[in-house]
Amino acid sequence: MRRFFLVTGILSGLLLLSSAFAHHGWGGYTEKIEFRATIAVLKLGNPHDRLVVTDSDDQEWNLLLAPPARNRRFGFNKESLSVGDVVDVIGQKHPQRREVKVHCLDKDGENLYTYRYDSGTSSLERLRKGEDCRFD
């Protein structure tokens, strides 16, 4: 019986540890990026809403948004954007892949998406970047 609890405890610890490593954050996404792209694929669902877009050089980018429940609460849903829409992107680029954690998405000069935390604070405010969702 003692051995059972020991093995169970070790396995539980490993499971918790693997969960901690599986969760991602903004840590590695340090390079600011702004670009215009065309939406190729909308993937709205858990664990994060995601867009696949193509830039002016025909490079494909994976855009990571906030979790779906949070996005819906702040008004971003499947009616917000469509495949073929051209959007301006502000975000933080992954150091090794064409992947962006998105701060803001604009379409035709109108902000359609801002990454928000549960409190309503935007990702730019939380990172203390002193910026907003205005494109240059």
Residue 41 backbone phi and psi in degrees, to 5: -145, 135
pTM for this entry: 0.78
Question: Is the per-residue pLDDT at 11 higher than 60?
Answer: no
Q: Quick one: pLDDT at residue 129?
A: 65
- Cα within 13 Å of Cα(22), Cβ side: 7
**pLDDT tens per residue across span 83-132:** 999 999 999 999 999 999 999 999 999 999 999 888 888 888 877 666 67
- Cα within 13 Å of Cα(77), Cβ side: 6
**pLDDT tens per residue across span 15-42:** 433 333 344 566 788 899 999 999 999 9
CA gap 104, 34 in Å, rounded:
10
Q: Please report which helix (H) or strand (E) contains residue 70, including its range.
A: helix 68-73
Q: Quick one: pLDDT at residue 121?
A: 83
Q: Which CATH number fits domain 26-126: 2.40.160.20, 1.10.10.60, 3.40.640.10, 2.40.50.140?
A: 2.40.50.140
Domain ranges of the chain: 26-126
**pLDDT tens per residue across span 60-69:** 999 999 999 9
CA gap 40, 26 in Å, rounded:
24
Q: Quick one: pLDDT at residue 67?
A: 94
Q: For residue 71, give both structure tokens.
A: 């996005």
Is residue 73 classed as helix, strand or coil in its secondary structure?
helix
What value, to the nearest 5°, has the Cα angle with vertex 100 and ends 99 and 106? 135
CA gap 60, 46 in Å, rounded:
21
Residue 58 to residues 30, 38, 55, 65, Cα–Cα distance (Å): 23, 10, 5, 21
